[in-house]
Amino acid sequence: MTPRHFSQFEQAQKSYQTRAKDYDSSWHPQYTARFMELIDIQPGDRVLVLACGTGLEAVIACPLVGDNGLVTALDASTAMMDVCRKKQATDEILSRRLVLIQHDVTDLESCEHLGKGSYDVIICSNAFVLFDEPGRVVSQWAGYLRRGGRLIVDIPHENHPRQGLFMKKSIQQMGMTYPASRSWIESVDSFRGILEARHLHAFRVEALDKEPGKGHVFLGREEIGSMFDYITQDHLMECLADEQFRSKARLLFEREWDSATEREGNGKVQVSYVLYVYVAEKV
């Protein structure tokens, strides 16, 4: 069985269709509040929020830019954008300072509403790892920053989520392609290199726990079942709805888990619920 290949735009549409209504009840709002503290948004700034989702970053940015500034926010998901539009409809500041556009954030060239070299700040949180060709995406986004403007992006720790790395290896052993591969993330320096190669100086890099104090955890073999179920609930793993494929994937997943515990020597697997936040200036 060969799973259907989804475009990134389709992946976002399907992934967040059911997540949208509960998204703001998850760990995301408190994480976003800490993420946004790392960004020095000034009155009058033009801010571009890419993969804005339910508007968590945009809602914080709008009061900061003042009436002489503007926040433009893009997302692929209809369901997520609908949540953001409801916030905008009941908030006077958002209604004046926020422009919402449904669009593919990896293809800004086709969005006629954006001006190249016109933004002071570009933000992307909890989304960049979903994109193929990270270098190409960064190069394109950089074109919309003014000189001296800043790009702020977060990417997962190389061990986040560890269960996803195990599943990727399992799926590949079954002759399939794993969606949203993050094999290019080897360390905190991986994304820094991508930025610097495109004349974006990463002058600040911070590691943020998804939830304070819960960044690194150690999981025993008794967690295999829940971790396997968690990583396979996404629609992109719908090929595993077939019980035969699912059973084979589960066996391979367990082998990857056991190999990791043997290498680490303590009977447990370290999982890092941490994201690296990069603040980079266009030079």
Instruction: Specify the range with the lowest mean pLDDT, choosing from 195-204, 228-237, 244-253.
Output: 228-237
Which residue did the predictor score with more confidence, 31 or 164? 31
**Residues 146-182, buried b or exposed e (16+ Cβ, 10 A)?**
eeebbbbbbbbbbbbbbbbbbbbebbeeeebebbeeb
Query: According to the CATH classification, is domain 8-282 in 3.40.1710.10?
Result: no
State phi, psi for 49 to the nearest 5 degrees: -105, 120
pLDDT band at 177 (very low <50, low <70, confident <90, very high): confident
pLDDT at 238: 59
Q: How far apart are CA 84 and CA 49, in angstroms?
A: 12
Neighbours of 251 (CB within 10 A): 10
Q: Which of 66, 24, 21 has its CA nearest to residue 41?
A: 66
Q: Which amino acid is at 246?
A: R
pLDDT at 8: 63
- Whether the full predicted model's pTM is greater than 0.85, yes or no, is yes
